Amino acid sequence: MLKRKNMLWTVMIAASLLLSACGGNDEKASTNEEESTKTEENNKNEKSEKSNEKDKSEKNETAKGSGGVLNPFIAEESEGNIEVVYTNNEPNYSHDMNGFKVAVDEYQIVSLKDIHKDYTYVFDDQSEGYIITAKVTLENTLDKPMYYTPMINIEVANEFEIFPSQSRLFVEDENTLFSKKESDPGKYAAGEKVTGFVTFALTNEEYQSLATVNPKLVIEGGAADNDSFKGSFRGDATFDFIYSDEQKDQLASQPAFYQDELLLRDMAEKKMIFEKMDIGQTQVLGDVNITLDGIQYTEVIPTEAYKEAFVDFGDSGIVAITMNFIIDNTSQEPLSAYWTSGKLIVDDTRATYLSTGQLEPEGVDEIKPGEKGEKMIVFLLRKDEFGIYKKFDLEFGPLRSMDNQDLAKGYTVTFELPRE
């Protein structure tokens, strides 16, 4: 009996040890499964991160292969795919507003596809379109704070159809054009220089429309030394907007036309009839030297958007006479040529034409003592009448004092214009 009991206890102890061993293996197995699961999740996360990094890298490499990405934040923010379409590293677009300067240092056009649904509003609820990023420098060279709202537009068919610049769309905070020294919006400290981005958003259709017009980039004026913008700078700076190498070559092959409003506002195309530059004919108006610098006679072909504006010329065709004057202010007071006009006298007494001020760029508003400014004068004539005219004389004036606009500086001087 005792022997059997010992045997029974031996069996029970063995069974107990076996169960204990099985329980330990279960705990180890459970721990190993948890660790394995965590490892798999970590591997998945690492693969996902690497995949995202690879995708971003591939997007950037694709863009870099097309000339490099000026603003990679576009792809990052929109979660879309970008491809560089055109880059202009030296556009030479600048506007000096009496010491407050705006310059477009470079710009880039990219196509953007497969964007996040939150950004489809940018392209009229479409998932793709084009973004133009312009790198802009604002510099206040004056010794006082200045106020300015950066307004840069791409003008298409006419001055009312524009793509306005945007200060925040796909622009990181550190790349905005806001002052780094002043807290007031649009205020820039004396001597401050700020470089940043502005962007333009175009749908596919809008981008394609650029090829049907002569698009312009316009840097608007408006700089002032007060927050109410009283006495702000008048006058915009307008340039041909280049969007492809082919278009750039085409523009380079054209004559260097004077940039009157006919061209600046894409109102018409021109064909050169005759030009003479560096004329150097000088007359004295009061105590100011006025020099006829150059003249162009051009045939004017209105664009589709402006045909109705020229209906009074009938089917005869139109000729523009555009001339440029240099005003050397040798007087002791600041002068303005803003209201200065011209009168064209044909064949002594045959006909008289008044200049078309609406077609003349504003130019320099104030010419300080000892400085020079320019003034452009434009006339429009019927082409058939222009063909029979032999002699042109121009009456130019008056200039006015900046301190008293009612006070004319001299009245007019007369220039004999080269005809052919």
Secondary structure (DSSP) of 212-281: GS--EEEE----BSSTT-TTPPP--EEEEPP--HHHHHHHHTS------HHHHTT-EEEEEEEEEEEEEE
CA atoms within 13 A on the CB side of 178: 12
CATH code (residue 199): 2.60.40.4170
pLDDT tens for residues 292-341?
999 999 999 998 889 999 999 988 899 999 999 999 999 888 988 888 99
Pair (168, 226) in one structural domain: yes
386 found inside a domain: yes
Pair (157, 283) in one structural domain: no
Pair (302, 401) in one structural domain: yes
Q: How far apart are CA 229 and CA 338, in angstroms?
A: 19
Phi, psi of 223, rounded to the nearest 5 degrees: -65, 140
Tally of domains in the chain? 2
**Could you list the residue range(s) of the whole structural domain that residue 136 is in?**
73-240
Per the model's pLDDT, the better-predicted residue between 286 and 395 turns out to be: 395
- The band of 139, judged by pLDDT with boundaries at 50, 70 and 90, is very high
Q: Which residues contact 35 (CB under 8 A, 6 or more apart)?
A: none
Q: How far apart are CA 65 and CA 358, in angstroms?
A: 46
User: What is the structure's pLDDT at 363?
Assistant: 63
User: What is the structure's pLDDT at 159?
Assistant: 75
Size of the chain, expressed as the number of residues it contains: 420
Lowest model confidence (mean pLDDT) among 212-216, 222-226, 407-411: 407-411
pTM: 0.70
Pair (87, 224) in one structural domain: yes
- Name 417's bridge partners: 392
Q: Which residues contact 136 (CB under 8 A, 6 or more apart)?
A: 102, 103, 104, 105, 150, 152, 177, 195, 196, 197, 198
How many CB atoms sit inside 10 A of residue 123's CB? 20
Exposed e or buried b for every residue in 98-112, given b needs 16+ CB within 10 A?
Answer: bebbbbbbebbbbbb
Pair (314, 194) in one structural domain: no
Q: Last residue of a domain, which of 187, 221, 240?
A: 240
Q: Last residue of a domain, which of 240, 256, 287?
A: 240
Per the model's pLDDT, the better-predicted residue between 323 and 214 turns out to be: 323
Query: Could you give the percent of the chain with pLDDT greater than 70?
Result: 82
Q: How far apart are CA 260 and CA 376, in angstroms?
A: 8
Lowest model confidence (mean pLDDT) among 184-198, 207-221, 232-246, 393-407: 393-407
Q: How far apart are CA 37 and CA 46, in angstroms?
A: 14
Among 351, 347, 336, 413, residue whose Cα is nearest residue 382: 351
298 found inside a domain: yes
Q: How far apart are CA 346 and CA 390, in angstroms?
A: 8
Pair (202, 351) in one structural domain: no
108 found inside a domain: yes
How many CB atoms sit inside 10 A of residue 291's CB? 17
Q: Is the pLDDT of residue 9 over 70?
A: no
Per the model's pLDDT, the better-predicted residue between 222 and 2 turns out to be: 222
Pair (152, 228) in one structural domain: yes
Q: Is the pLDDT of residue 65 over 80?
A: no
38 found inside a domain: no
User: What is the structure's pLDDT at 17?
Assistant: 34
56 found inside a domain: no
Pair (182, 230) in one structural domain: yes
6 found inside a domain: no
The dihedral through the CA atoms of 203, 244, 307, 151 has a sign that is positive
246 found inside a domain: no
Calculate mean pLDDT across residues 372-384. 95
Calculate mean pLDDT across residues 181-192. 95
Mean pLDDT of the chain: 85
222 found inside a domain: yes
Pair (412, 351) in one structural domain: yes
Q: Is the pLDDT of residue 44 over 70?
A: no
Best-predicted range by mean pLDDT among 204-213, 355-364, 407-416? 204-213
User: What is the structure's pLDDT at 399?
Assistant: 87
Do residues 274 and 321 make contact, with C-beta atoms less than 8 angstroms apart? no
Do residues 165 and 134 make contact, with C-beta atoms less than 8 angstroms apart? yes
Per the model's pLDDT, the better-predicted residue between 28 and 380 turns out to be: 380
pLDDT tens for residues 162-172?
999 999 999 99
pLDDT tens for residues 356-369?
999 998 766 788 89
Region class of 410: left (phi > 0), else alpha (psi between -120 and 50), else beta: left
Pair (368, 283) in one structural domain: yes
DSSP H stretches of helix in 65-129: 73-78
Pair (79, 227) in one structural domain: yes
Q: How far apart are CA 217 and CA 204, in angstroms?
A: 19
Q: Is the bond into 215 cis (omega within 30 degrees of 0)?
A: no
3-state secondary structure of 412: coil
Pair (277, 410) in one structural domain: yes
Region class of 114: left (phi > 0), else alpha (psi between -120 and 50), else beta: left
